[in-house]
Structure 1
Amino acid sequence: MWRDIWLLYRMELVPSLRTPTWIAVGLLQPVLYLVLFGPLTEQIAATTPGYPPGGAWALFTPALVVQLALFSSSFTGFSLLADLNGGVLERLRVTPVSRIALLLGKVLTNATHTVCQALVIVLLAALMFDLRVPWLGVGMIVLVAALLAVTLASCSQALALRLKNDDAFLGLLNTVLLPLLLLSGILIPITPGLAPDWLVTASEINPLTYVVDAGRAGFRGDFDSAALLQGSLVLAALAALALWWGTRSFQRENV
């Protein structure tokens, strides 16, 4: 199985390394948020009661990494739909290759892209703006980006395999992603001092909120906080469930 995973991972990764334009395109949105929206958060953090401690950039940068993983990984199902429509997946199914490898080849490739893009975002924030973050915090946000990419890419692959339709898949993503983004407090933290009670309650239901809070705790250097532990446990549970769902979908889909 591990050899199959490696072969399919390399098959997916090598073409993307030969055309790194798509990796750069994936960075465009978070870089624009970093440059055009990030400076506004400095004034908001300095003047708004209830804004979490830690500094504007230590709060905004890890949230951007989560946003990057959210959007770049959620759309990976389109590549599976292309393989399905083009007969590529059908040809792979008649080989002895492991069904788990069919999932993990794409998922790990996406996680590799996401980690590289996350490092670029952190580097740009450190060079261009007033970001000061401990090295352990950088390592933690890289791990968060990788696990979140694995989680979302696995869900995306499973959904694409279930729906088998580009329009239905896109419509579902657009319905789900925007509430996840807004309720996670990525752009502006959702705290009792800033938001009404009903919005705080809705944010607490969103599992992505705890992942964002964990990233922010790491960037503040608050490594013994409850937010970091809680977010780590939520992310680990989500990753395990997503991999189980994705693996089960590929094993059952054997036509």
Structure 2
Amino acid sequence: MTFLRESSIVFRRQLRMNLRNPAWVIIGMLQPVLYLLLFGPLLKDVVKTFGYDNAYTFFVPGLLVQLGIFGAFFAGFSLIGEWREGVIEAERVTPASRTALLMGRLWRDLTQLLVQAIILVALGYLMGMRASWQGAVLGVVLTLLIGGACAASSNALALTTKSEDVMAPVINMVMMPVLLLSGILLPMTIGPKWLLDVSDVMPTRHVVDAVRGLFTGGAGSELAWGTGWAIVLCALGVWWGTATFRRENA
């Protein structure tokens, strides 16, 4: 109970900070929405060659995972500001669990991601997406898992680098191959075999396939692989973030 109370205190403080300055929430939401509005219509005829009869049923799941990865990866930038202002140092002298300091922030990031995911899915339905609500709900759950992995890793990276100038190029270097090799915008099956083989080792590719299968009702082995990788990545991210917080606040 003490851990939950400490985490909730950090969560409420972080949430109040976000509500006072919602710029990051809005900016994080704009990119997938613009992709949906401007790129989605271009896929209406193209997706038929991939075996899909609805562009948005194909496209929205990929954008969901993109939102979970890209949006959550920038969560650590606010932590650098807190470290620079002495907030982390002030938290160091409290008896709060070091893990709770991470989890409270992680709950904030996942709450933000959940709101953004709901808006994106609702907009997809308004634009003609055909997907069962059960599949959409499970797809959002997988998105939260991968988002939790990225948010925890981002916080760990922020406390490791302590510099936006270092953190930004590292994130860009990681995110470019993730975007290109995960099948977020186009399925990897249309590429050459060597590219497909490379994408097979990308865990996020399996997560995208799982979420897309849930939306289209065709999830099979992809669901097991995607769920497994999402859980593993989330566990590793939380472990790394917790270890970093403990080291920084010992």
TM above 0.5: yes
Instruction: Give the conservation status (yes or no) of the 8 Å contact 1:61–1:122.
Output: yes
Residues 55-70 of structure 1 aligned to structure 2 (within 5 Å): 55-70=54-69
Distance 2:218 2:109 in 1: 29
The CA deviation at 1:105 is: 1.4
Distance 1:34 1:182 in 2: 17
How many residues get paired? 248
Distance 2:22 2:78 in 1: 16
The CA deviation at 1:161 is: 1.2
Instruction: Give the conservation status (yes or no) of the 8 Å contact 1:80–1:157.
Output: yes
In the alignment, residue 233 of structure 2 is paired with which amino acid? L
What is the DSSP-based 3-state SS (H/G/I as helix, E as strand, rest coil) of the residue aligned with 1:97? coil
Percent identity of the aligned residues? Answer: 42
Distance 1:180 1:84 in 2: 29
Which residue in the other structure is 2:183 paired with? Answer: 185
Q: Is residue 109 of structure 2 the alignment partner of residue 116 of structure 1?
A: no
Instruction: Give the conservation status (yes or no) of the 8 Å contact 1:63–1:186.
Output: yes
Q: Which runs of 5+ in 1 are unaligned?
A: none
Q: Is residue 38 of structure 2 the alignment partner of residue 36 of structure 1?
A: yes
Q: Is residue 190 of structure 2 the alignment partner of residue 205 of structure 1?
A: no
Residues 1-255 of structure 1 aligned to structure 2 (within 5 Å): 1-46=3-48, 48=49, 51-53=50-52, 55-127=54-126, 129-191=127-189, 194-223=190-219, 225-254=220-249
State the TM-score, normalized to the length of structure 1: 0.93
Moved over 6 A (4+): none
Distance 1:151 1:54 in 2: 32
The CA deviation at 1:145 is: 2.0
Distance 1:66 1:251 in 2: 29
Distance 2:47 2:53 in 1: 9
State the TM-score, normalized to the length of structure 2: 0.95
After superposition, the Cα gap between the structure-2 partners of 1:52 and 1:96, relative to the gap in structure 1 and judged at 3 Å, is farther
Distance 1:38 1:89 in 2: 42
